[in-house]
């Protein structure tokens, strides 16, 4: 069942130097039990996408100027702030990119997990505390009983991050959005948490959006991958075929940056050129200044999305869209 549908999303922010448009033409769906990975270089609009779904843009001097966000068949953009609050943190839970911002320094870590649990379940305080310690253990927190009683400033970055993940999981949401949730963690713990996300989504029939720089995480965890570049969606489809036969030159470049077994780091091919800033998105296809397959049309005309098959889409002039199809525009 389609849990979330984001359609042709466009976002603007007011800044001191005028309006910027960090997102345009972003669209995807997430089903219950499905994990969508969003990957892209820094500044490509991954966190803004999460903030838009969470309805947090108005607090960040921003707004959605085009498109729709449907969650459980409700049009989120038409909700009042009060109605949004009932969904935010309940039906849709965000593990934010910076875990420090979501922990309250005056409460012990465990108490913050328990508070969430008590809000969303009818567990007694004692049972909720037991459940919180269980979840902390399953996240690989050593001495979970002790950590439970510690204040955020007593915890390492990695432990704080895991407390925030525990809070996100305990909210018992329908959709979990995790924004780079494993960056502060070492590789072993990261693998453990990825496994836990996989189990949880299956057991709870949860939809999940995993935002990451790490194509390895996408390969291990996700069903579908959405590749973002400069505020727009370049390619989307099931992970296996996209990794095997990437269509977009940008996806191809990203994948060629993954080290193969036995490869030395300095053999790695980095994508030449820089990611453009939100004020200087180029005309035409935003990737054209870096694209090895650039054609004249790419410099002036923004490409529309083309269906590769019924599950995959690509936004590139190499793949002309069928005439008459519905297109998401970026520009």
Among Mg ion, ligand ATP, none, what binds residue 303 when CB lies within 5 to 8 Å by partner kind? none
Among Mg ion, ligand ATP, none, what binds residue 99 when CB lies within 5 to 8 Å by partner kind? none
Give the residue from 324, 281, 288 showing the smallest Cα distance to 303.
Answer: 288
Q: Answer for the pair 24, 234: CB distance below 8 angstroms, yes or no.
A: no
Q: Which two tokens stand for residue 69?
A: 């966000």
H/E element, 19: strand 18-31
Q: Give yes or no for residue 100 binding ligand ATP (CB under 6 A).
A: no
Q: Answer for the pair 47, 219: CB distance below 8 angstroms, yes or no.
A: no
CB of 266 to ligand ATP, least distance (A): 24
Taking the least distance from each CB to Mg ion, the nearer of 47 and 305 is 47
Taking the least distance from each CB to Mg ion, the nearer of 47 and 190 is 47
**Among the listed residues 258, 278, 307, 318, the single contact to ligand ATP using CB under 6 A:** 278
Taking the least distance from each CB to ligand ATP, the nearer of 34 and 212 is 212
CB of 21 to ligand ATP, least distance (A): 9
Among ligand ATP, Mg ion, none, what binds residue 40 when CB lies within 5 to 8 Å by partner kind? ligand ATP
CB of 46 to Mg ion, least distance (A): 5
Q: What is the rounded distance in angstroms from the CA atom of residue 57 to the CA atom of residue 59?
A: 5
CB of 23 to Mg ion, least distance (A): 12
**Among the listed residues 4, 12, 22, 144, the single contact to ligand ATP using CB under 6 A:** 22
Total residues belonging to the chain: 331
Q: Answer for the pair 182, 197: CB distance below 8 angstroms, yes or no.
A: no
Taking the least distance from each CB to ligand ATP, the nearer of 47 and 190 is 47
Q: Give yes or no for residue 13 binding ligand ATP (CB under 6 A).
A: yes
CB of 232 to ligand ATP, least distance (A): 11
23-82 binders of ligand ATP (CB under 6 A): 40, 42-48, 60-62
Question: 10 Å Cβ neighbour count for 240?
Answer: 11
Interface with Mg ion by CB under 5 A: which residues? 46-47, 97
Q: What is the rounded distance in angstroms from the CA atom of residue 148 to the CA atom of residue 162?
A: 12
Taking the least distance from each CB to ligand ATP, the nearer of 97 and 252 is 97
132 to 5, 115, 193, 227, 269: CA distances (angstroms):
32, 10, 16, 35, 44
CB of 328 to Mg ion, least distance (A): 22
56 to 193, 212, 257, 275, 294: CA distances (angstroms):
26, 20, 33, 25, 37
Among ligand ATP, Mg ion, none, what binds residue 278 when CB lies within 5 to 8 Å by partner kind? ligand ATP
Tokens 């990437």 -> residue: 246
Q: What is the rounded distance in angstroms from the CA atom of residue 260 to the CA atom of residue 170?
A: 37
Look at phi and psi of residue 105 and say left if phi exceeds 0, alpha if psi is from -120 to 50, else beta.
Answer: alpha
Q: Give yes or no for residue 302 binding ligand ATP (CB under 6 A).
A: no
Residues that bind ligand ATP (CB under 6 A): 13, 15, 20, 22, 40, 42-48, 60-62, 97, 278
């Amino acid at each position: 069942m389609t849990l979330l549908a984001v359609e042709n999303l466009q976002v603007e922010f007011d800044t001191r130097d005028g309006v910027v448009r960090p997102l345009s033409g972003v669209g995807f769906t997430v089903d219950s039990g499905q994990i969508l990975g969003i990957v892209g270089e820094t500044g490509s609009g991954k966190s803004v996408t999460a903030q838009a779904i969470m309805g947090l843009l108005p607090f960040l001097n921003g707004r959605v100027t085009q498109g729709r966000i449907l969650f459980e068949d409700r049009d989120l953009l038409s909700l009042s702030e009060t109605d949004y609050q009932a969904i935010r943190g309940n039906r849709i839970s965000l593990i934010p990119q910076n875990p420090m911002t979501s922990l309250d320094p005056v409460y012990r870590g465990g108490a913050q997990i328990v508070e969430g649990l008590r809000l969303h379940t009818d567990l007694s305080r004692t049972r909720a505390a037991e459940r919180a310690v269980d979840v902390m253990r399953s996240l690989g927190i050593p001495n979970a009983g002790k950590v439970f009683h510690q204040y955020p400033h007593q915890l390492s970055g990695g432990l704080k991050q895991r407390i925030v993940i525990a809070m996100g999981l305990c909210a018992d949401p329908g959709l979990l959005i995790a924004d780079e949730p494993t960056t502060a963690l070492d590789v072993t713990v990261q693998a453990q948490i990825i496994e836990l996300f996989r189990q949880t989504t299956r057991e709870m029939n949860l939809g999940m959006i995993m935002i990451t720089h790490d194509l390895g995480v996408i390969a291990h965890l996700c069903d579908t991958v959405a590749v973002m570049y400069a505020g727009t969606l370049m390619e989307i489809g099931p992970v296996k075929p996209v990794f095997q036969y990437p269509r977009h030159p940008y996806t191809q470049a990203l994948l060629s940056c993954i080290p193969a077994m036995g490869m030395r780091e300095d053999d790695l091919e980095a994508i030449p050129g820089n990611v453009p800033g939100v004020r200087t998105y180029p005309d035409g296809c935003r990737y054209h200044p870096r694209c090895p397959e650039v054609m004249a049309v790419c410099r002036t005309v923004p490409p529309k999305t083309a269906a590769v098959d019924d599950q995959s889409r690509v936004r590139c002039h190499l793949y002309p869209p069928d005439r008459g199809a519905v297109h998401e525009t970026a520009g």
